[in-house]
Amino acid sequence: MSDENGLRISVIGAGSWGTTIAKHLAEKGFDVIIWVKEEDVRESILKNRENHLYLPKIKLPENIYPTGFLQEALADRDLIIFSVPSQYVREVLKEGRGFIGDGSIIINTAKGIELSTLKLMNQVFEDMLSENIRERYASLSGPSFALEVSRRKPTAVSIASRNLAAARAGQKAFSNEYFRAYVTEDVVGVEIGGSLKNVIAIAAGIADGLGLGHNSKSALITRGLAEITRLGVKMGASPMTFLGLSGVGDLVLTCTGELSRNREVGLRIGKGEKLEDILSNMRMVAEGVKTSLAARELAQRFGVDVPIAEQVCLMLYSGKAPEDAIFELMTRQLKHEMG
């Protein structure tokens, strides 16, 4: 790997988060290649130093080079950050895996579960790049709205890898006076927390759309965290991870922040809109919509109770009325809080 100042960095994906990451790393002095699927976005970055579709009115540094060719973005890179929606990660890897060198550290930022296989992102990367990738793979997650990071608002995240040396390489590359990264070995916990918080955020948005108030949202977030923790621990995660940035930190942000796409979906469902109408005019992906289905199936596989995720699925895909879902959640069998 090159010395720190000479790191060869690529970002795969030019949505709001991928573009923000490229901007952040370029402002630290790295030369960054960003792979851009849409030609008009590539031209916008190249000519106007702006991603007019996904991060408008944010000026991008000159040391970001946009390319439409995966080979150019993946070959001979020290650090490759994947920032494509979770349901498309396998497709991009299939096209580009032959260009990824054995020395490249890979950091994934997608927060989702592959619906067709119920696999976490680290498992998808292992499928496509072999098990040896574990030593060079990390996941970045935590409370981090792209727009706020692009405006240099103080932000803290987790970077998880089974190999702490890989996590620390990412930590060093990302961290500065307004962006702080913490390392952990709990890849499963970080990826489960980052994925399922989007499902709970849809539920929180629905509660807001119904005008249920702060008591309801607080209860929903807390019980949502219990669901996430139950499933995560059953899958091998540490329960402490869910009390950290990629757990409760990201959950609170996504359930309460006005920039949350998943909360927006729920808000509009709560106000009576249909899912297909909401998704048809959303430019960016709300990961929780498909993750809700994956979460329900994973919970069934592991024998874990996830009543909020279950009701979100029924509201999104079976037309269940939000009022009926709330009633059902509130009248379930009474239980011990820690049960």
**pLDDT at residue 121 greater than cutoff 70:** yes
162 and 145 in a common domain:
yes
- Residue 294 belongs to some domain of the structure: yes
89 and 71 in a common domain:
yes
What is the C-alpha to C-alpha distance for residues 214 and 206, in angstroms, rounded to an integer?
13
The residue out of 185, 215, 230 marking a domain boundary is: 185
CA distances in angstroms from 320 to 46, 219, 220, 224, 299, listed in the order given: 46, 21, 18, 19, 20
273 and 244 in a common domain:
yes
| Percent of the chain topping pLDDT 70 | 99
CA distances in angstroms from 40 to 119, 175, 296, listed in the order given: 33, 31, 38
234 and 311 in a common domain:
yes
**Helices 288-302 and 214-234, axial angle in degrees (round to 10):** 50
- Residue 335 belongs to some domain of the structure: no
Residue 163 in tokens: 């190999």
CATH number of residue 143's parent domain: 3.40.50.720
The residue out of 165, 185, 205 marking a domain boundary is: 185
The per-residue pLDDT for 29 is 96
Q: Is 37 annotated in the active site?
A: no
**pLDDT at residue 81 greater than cutoff 80:** yes
Q: Per the structure, how many domains does the chain have? A: 2
Average pLDDT, the chain: 96
What is the C-alpha to C-alpha distance for residues 269 and 278, in angstroms, rounded to an integer?
8
**pLDDT at residue 339 greater than cutoff 90:** no
| Percent of the chain topping pLDDT 90 | 95
**pLDDT at residue 2 greater than cutoff 80:** no
213-265 pLDDT per residue, tens: 999 999 999 999 999 999 999 999 999 999 999 999 999 999 999 999 999 99
- Residue 336 belongs to some domain of the structure: no
pTM (2 d.p.) = 0.95
217 and 167 in a common domain:
no
The letter for the amino acid at 4 is E
Domain boundaries, position 312: 193-330
- Residue 337 belongs to some domain of the structure: no
CA distances in angstroms from 136 to 124, 150, 174, listed in the order given: 14, 27, 16
165 and 292 in a common domain:
no
The per-residue pLDDT for 103 is 92
- Residue 339 belongs to some domain of the structure: no
The per-residue pLDDT for 174 is 98
- Residue 127 belongs to some domain of the structure: yes
The residue out of 124, 154, 185 marking a domain boundary is: 185
200 and 170 in a common domain:
no
The per-residue pLDDT for 284 is 85
> What's the average model confidence in pLDDT over 105-130?
96
31 and 142 in a common domain:
yes
**pLDDT at residue 154 greater than cutoff 70:** yes
**pLDDT at residue 3 greater than cutoff 60:** no
Torsion angle (degrees, nearest 10) of CA 87, 91, 92, 97: 130
209 and 126 in a common domain:
no
The per-residue pLDDT for 282 is 87
214 and 174 in a common domain:
no
260-304 pLDDT per residue, tens: 999 999 999 999 999 999 999 888 889 999 999 999 999 999 999
Max CA separation in the chain (angstroms)? 61
Residue among 23, 28, 197, 290 flagged as catalytic:
197
60 and 139 in a common domain:
yes
Residue 45 in tokens: 């970055």
Residues 6+ away with beta carbon under 8 Å from 189:
160, 232, 237, 238, 241, 242, 246, 247
296-326 pLDDT per residue, tens: 999 999 999 999 999 999 999 999 999 999 9
239 and 139 in a common domain:
no
CATH number of residue 268's parent domain: 1.10.1040.10
